[in-house]
Amino acid sequence: MRSIIAQVAMTHFGLFAVVFTPLLVLLLMPFARLRPLAVRLTPYTALPALVLSLSVREDFTLHVSWLLLGTDVGIDLVARVFMFFSAWVWLAAGFFARRYVKGLLRHRFFLFYLVALSGNLGVIIAQDIVTFLLFFSMMSLASYALIVHRQNAEAIRAARVYITLVILGEMVLFAGAVLAYHVTGTITLAAMTDALTGAAQRDLVMLLFFVGFGIKAGLVPLHIWLPLAHPAAPTPASAVLSAAMIKAGFLGWLRFLPVGKVGLPTWGLWCVILGLIAAFYGVLFGLPQKNPKAILAYSSISQMGFLTLILGMGMASPATWPLALTALLIYAMHHALAKGALFLSVGVSLEGMAQRWQRVLLGLGLIIPALALAGAPWTSGAIAKGALKQALYETEALQGDWLIWLISFGAVGTSLLMARFLYVLWPRHFRASASVEPALWVPWALVVVSVVLVPWLTPWPELRHAALAASQASLVWSSLWPVALAAALAYAFYHWRLASPYRLAFNPPAGDLVVPVVGLLSLLLRSSQAFRAVVFRKWQTLVDRSARLLQGPGAYAQIVNRLEAMLTNWTSGGFWVVLLGVLVFVALWLAS
């Protein structure tokens, strides 16, 4: 009995430690003498979340009646998986950042890093609307400081686009939260989604949440902040943005939408369509990019498209949602680990490696997560795509080989993106004096190792069984041919480009839609300013002419003088006051 009580107490303590450990270290930042200590402690603040995700086996919820409007926090399978990969990437990125981030603004970076970390982990354990949106706002607003950290023109532009979309998303989410409470009468997420299944305004509430969280999830066409923010932010910030924080938007969909509780075939079809659009859109606009972090950003857009597709499967067929959810969790974890390793590899490769063993390590560290993201056989990507296809076979509402083929060609596109990334980033010259410090390559190497091992050693039986099923020898060909085809296409294009004098004209800037959108907004702003200036001049001219007529001698002045004399007379003035009162009384009586 005592052991059970102790376990419950430690679990409850662990929930609060997940969120408040980063905030406690944050309290050291205002004191100049304690700031170096706060920076040294920053990576370790993700440890409570990592330990909790691996140690808790049972689902539970804790209600704190005195906090906010009554706070519900808890942990389930979704929270455990999201907490594991988020905490692991935050931990590695924190150690990486201690050596990577330098300069006078170093302490400011870690201050907002801690706030974003607390918000990201708080979103994962939140079980009510208010708590979820509070931590979501903390994470989103603190990320602005991480993106704008360098304060150059690129960072300022990216941060402006990002914060504009964040504020827009917060407004949409607030409207959705108010309407959801009005419709369902509860702020608890589980009860809210249950009540939402039969609500008359269900689709409107779902649309608000879908758009609001879709901005963070990189949903096309709300994705435009991603290709701008990732290249502008410091490398460790880019890693957590893509690996962990982008998943918070997807987690919002899982928590706020009634997925798996009621059949939503129309919603499911639209999610599948939007997911496929994002999957190929990210490839189309990512291939021409020259910045490796921009390529990875478009890859994230493409991969989030596959996650949106899985969400659509669960909406279309609630009976297969458990299988689809397992595929979704595997895919989210696979993408987080691989993308975290790839972003950190950008920082490592730019430092340069002089020794041979370091160059071999760099080559392996680039190729392994790239192959995993491409879905090569026996990698986490192959497991994720195998689980996706297995769930699709069981989804009766989306039967047809056409979708399987589109997913396979999407894998070809991902492989091409990874080939492009390796071509752009692969070091061609090594400086004899260059040497990457262990503080940089050790956390990066650990994330690369986790890409290989975690899918096979996951402590959650549901995911481990799915990994074993998706890695059968009979499925090797289905994961091999997209990578092989992409490699052949990349090789052929490379040699054609060397031999041909022609160059492809398609060269969109990072952010793609930002340019036409900003141009349209600028045109509308200039047009409104010109229209306002013309109207103001005309109005001012009319006012001036009227004033001259009324103030000068003539009929207008006589009329004004007579009206003024009549109204100042007690008899006529009293009459008009009484008449006005009667009219007001009649209006009130008719209204009642």
Query: Which sequence spans correspond to the domains of the chain?
Result: 1-258, 263-502
Instruction: Give the confidence band of 339 by pLDDT, cuts at 50, 70, 90.
Output: very high
Q: What integer pLDDT is reported at residue 69 of this predicted model?
A: 77
H or E stretch covering 236:
helix 235-240
Inform me whether the pLDDT recorded for 581 exceeds 90: no
The percent of residues in the chain predicted with pLDDT above 90, rounded, is 32
147-158 per-position pLDDT tens digit? 998 888 888 988
Higher-pLDDT residue of 548 and 302 is 302
Inform me whether the pLDDT recorded for 432 exceeds 70: no
- Nearest C-alpha neighbor of 241 from the set 282, 310, 173, 301: 301
Higher-pLDDT residue of 508 and 169 is 169
Instruction: Give the confidence band of 575 by pLDDT, cuts at 50, 70, 90.
Output: low
109/408 Cα distance (integer angstroms)? 40
Inform me whether the pLDDT recorded for 140 exceeds 90: yes
What are the φ/ψ torsions at residue 62 (nearest 5 degrees)?
-120, 130
Q: What integer pLDDT is reported at residue 1 of this predicted model?
A: 47
Inform me whether the pLDDT recorded for 527 exceeds 80: no
Residue with tokens 């990486």: 96
Q: Mean pLDDT highest for which of 119-128, 391-400, 404-413, 479-488?
A: 119-128
Higher-pLDDT residue of 571 and 392 is 392
Q: Mean per-residue pLDDT for 520-548? A: 64
Q: What integer pLDDT is reported at residue 49 of this predicted model?
A: 92
CB 165 within 8 A of CB 229: no
CB 480 within 8 A of CB 377: yes
* Number of Cβ within a 10 Å radius of residue 357: 8
> Chain-wide mean pLDDT for the chain?
82
Inform me whether the pLDDT recorded for 2 exceeds 50: no
Q: What integer pLDDT is reported at residue 60 of this predicted model?
A: 81
Inform me whether the pLDDT recorded for 221 exceeds 70: yes
Q: What integer pLDDT is reported at residue 6 of this predicted model?
A: 44
- Nearest C-alpha neighbor of 72 from the set 23, 24, 15: 15
433-447 per-position pLDDT tens digit? 556 677 888 899 999
Higher-pLDDT residue of 479 and 31 is 31
- Nearest C-alpha neighbor of 49 from the set 12, 77, 88, 23: 88
Inform me whether the pLDDT recorded for 317 exceeds 80: yes
Inform me whether the pLDDT recorded for 502 exceeds 90: no
Q: What integer pLDDT is reported at residue 79 of this predicted model?
A: 92
Inform me whether the pLDDT recorded for 10 exceeds 60: no
Inform me whether the pLDDT recorded for 208 exceeds 60: yes
Instruction: Give the confidence band of 5 by pLDDT, cuts at 50, 70, 90.
Output: very low
Q: Mean per-residue pLDDT for 498-508? A: 61
Q: Mean per-residue pLDDT for 96-112? A: 88
Q: What integer pLDDT is reported at residue 206 of this predicted model?
A: 92
Q: Mean per-residue pLDDT for 219-235? A: 87
Q: What integer pLDDT is reported at residue 23 of this predicted model?
A: 93
Pair of tokens at residue 221? 């066409």
61-96 per-position pLDDT tens digit? 888 877 777 788 888 899 999 999 999 999 999 999
